């Protein structure tokens, strides 16, 4: 049984959690959303400073919630890639310091691997192989999960990530930041058939379209042109209908590719991770399509869809149980392919 304290500071959440194998003992998240709302998005330097201000309190709260002392902690982990470099450095430095101070193994964790492990927190019996649909503000990928540390990306976005598209469309509609939750809420009362928007297909050189890769930049541009046209005509902007049409288009596109990928590769389980996994439209469409095709689809609890340290601790606990540790010389990287996860360990 492996117990890990993990720190997650890859973007705008200061998170600390303690997980024993796949059981969450504590999970603390200090959100920076109010700080960044005035800018309409995350400001890296502001995020780094906010992490510095809250990291010590978050660690103390996590230890208090878990009611454990340091003798019960087997390892210390932190997200080291990908993410905002300054933000990552805060968490990584704190984790290394704790590892040295308490003489514990240190592990650097890939942020996307954490999102894959988020499903394990609610489905402790889940084991590879399965397909991971990872949809967040910075990433949209279809990943074949073969075993701990062994991943193959089968499909991805060619431009904007799904979460990024939600934020940009929310900005067009003057809905504020972050865009995902407010669009989801407005879509509940809108007509998803009100406007026909492009799915975002990726053409193949020999003709036809890629079955797993997608694009969201064209969809974002289509919404922009729609808004400009409606404003030019002087009509009241049907925000709810636009939100519903946009959300349904994204959900259908993601569902279509995930189902095709799972069937083509003979994977009977799709585990969804990332902030967009909380979207009600995606949950509805993907669950219905999975049922039709005799596939199992798993969504993490809403609290583990967005960035959190419990998923990082869960991944670290699995690595540590296999004897994987990271050198204290490990640095941070703003970009790192998921296929390179094992370079983080020795």
| 273 is an annotated ligand-binding site residue | no
CA distance linking residue 189 with residue 83, whole number of Å: 35
| 167 is an annotated ligand-binding site residue | yes
Conformational region of residue 100, where left means phi above 0, alpha means psi within -120 to 50, and beta covers everything else: alpha
| 56 is an annotated ligand-binding site residue | no
Superfamily classification of domain 3-119+305-344: ATPase, nucleotide binding domain (3.30.420.40)
pLDDT higher than threshold 80 for residue 266:
yes
| Number of Cβ atoms within 10 Å of the Cβ of 212 | 18
**CA nearest 97: which of 66, 70, 67?**
70
**CA nearest 176: which of 187, 190, 166?**
166
pLDDT given at position 37: 83
| 136 is an annotated ligand-binding site residue | yes
User: Would strands 75-81 and 106-110 be described as parallel, antiparallel, or unpaired?
Assistant: parallel
| Number of Cβ atoms within 10 Å of the Cβ of 231 | 11
| 302 is an annotated ligand-binding site residue | no
At residue 66's C-alpha, the angle toward residues 64 and 69, to 5°, is 70
pLDDT given at position 104: 98
pLDDT given at position 148: 97
Residue 131 burial (CB < 10 Å; 0-12/13-18/19+)?
buried
Provide the pLDDT confidence category of residue 39 given band limits of 50, 70 and 90. Answer: confident
Contacts of 292 (CB under 8 A, 6+ apart): none
> Reduced to 3 states, what is the DSSP secondary structure of residue 270?
strand
Beta strands in 192-298 (DSSP E): 269-273, 296-298
pLDDT per residue as tens digits for the range 176-204: 989 999 999 999 999 999 999 999 999 99
Provide the pLDDT confidence category of residue 35 given band limits of 50, 70 and 90. Answer: confident
User: What is the domain partition of the chain in residue ranges?
Assistant: 3-119+305-344, 127-299
| Rg (alpha carbons) of the chain, rounded to whole number | 20
pLDDT given at position 205: 92
Q: What is the DSSP letter of 237?
A: P
Contact, 276 vs 162, CB < 8 A? yes
Contacts of 20 (CB under 8 A, 6+ apart): 1, 2, 3, 4, 317
* CB contact burial 50-68 (16+ within 10 A = b; e otherwise): bbbebbeebbebbbebbeb
| 285 is an annotated ligand-binding site residue | no
Instruction: Round the average pLDDT of the chain to a whole number and report it.
Output: 96
| 206 is an annotated ligand-binding site residue | no
pLDDT per residue as tens digits for the range 274-300: 999 999 999 999 999 999 999 999 999
Cis? peptide before 141, omega within 30° of 0: no
Contact, 198 vs 256, CB < 8 A? no
pLDDT given at position 42: 87
| 134 is an annotated ligand-binding site residue | yes
| 102 is an annotated ligand-binding site residue | no
CA distance linking residue 194 with residue 306, whole number of Å: 30
Give CA torsion, residues 20, 26, 30, 31, to 10 deg. Answer: 70
The verdict on domain 127-299 having CATH code 3.30.420.40 is yes
* Matching fold, domains 3-119+305-344 and 127-299: yes
Provide the pLDDT confidence category of residue 236 given band limits of 50, 70 and 90. Answer: confident
| 57 is an annotated ligand-binding site residue | no
| 184 is an annotated ligand-binding site residue | yes
pLDDT per residue as tens digits for the range 146-185: 999 999 999 999 999 999 999 999 999 999 989 999 999 9
- The DSSP annotation for 1-31 comes to --EEEEEE-SSSEEEEEEEETTEEEEEEEEE
| 115 is an annotated ligand-binding site residue | yes
């Amino acid at each position: 049984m492996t117990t890990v304290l993990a720190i997650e500071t890859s973007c705008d959440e200061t998170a600390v959690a303690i997980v024993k194998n796949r059981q969450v003992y504590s999970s603390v998240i200090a959100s920076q959303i109010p700080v960044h709302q005035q800018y309409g998005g995350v400001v890296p330097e502001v995020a780094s400073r906010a992490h510095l201000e809250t990291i010590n309190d978050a660690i103390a709260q996590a230890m208090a919630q878990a009611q454990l002392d340091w003798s019960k902690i087997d390892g210390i982990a932190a997200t080291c890639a990908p993410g905002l470099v300054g933000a990552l450095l805060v968490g990584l430095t704190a984790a290394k310091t704790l590892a040295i101070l308490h003489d514990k193994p240190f592990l650097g964790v890939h942020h996307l691997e954490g999102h894959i492990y988020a499903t394990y927190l609610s489905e402790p019996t889940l084991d590879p192989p399965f397909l991971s649909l990872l949809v967040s503000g910075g990433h949209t990928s279809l990943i074949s999960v073969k075993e701990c540390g062994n991943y193959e990306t089968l499909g991805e976005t060619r431009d904007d990530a799904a979460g990024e598209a939600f934020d940009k469309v929310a900005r067009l509609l003057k809905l504020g930041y972050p865009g995902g939750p407010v669009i989801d809420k407005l879509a509940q009362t809108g007509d998803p058939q009100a406007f026909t928007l492009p799915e975002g297909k990726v053409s193949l050189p020999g003709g036809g379209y890629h079955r797993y890769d997608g694009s969201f930049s064209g969809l974002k541009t289509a919404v922009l042109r729609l808004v400009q046209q409606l404003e030019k005509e002087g009509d009241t902007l049907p925000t709810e209908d636009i939100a519903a049409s946009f959300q349904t288009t994204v959900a259908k596109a993601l569902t279509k590719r995930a189902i095709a990928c799972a069937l083509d590769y003979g994977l009977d389980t799709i585990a969804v991770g990332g902030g967009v996994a909380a979207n009600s439209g995606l949950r509805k469409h993907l669950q219905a399509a999975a049922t039709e095709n005799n596939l199992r689809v798993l969504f993490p609890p809403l609290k583990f869809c967005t960035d959190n340290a419990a998923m990082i601790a869960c991944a670290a606990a699995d690595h540590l149980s296999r004897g994987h540790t990271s050198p204290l010389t490990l640095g941070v990287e703003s970009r790192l392919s998921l296929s390179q996860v094992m370079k983080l360990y020795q």
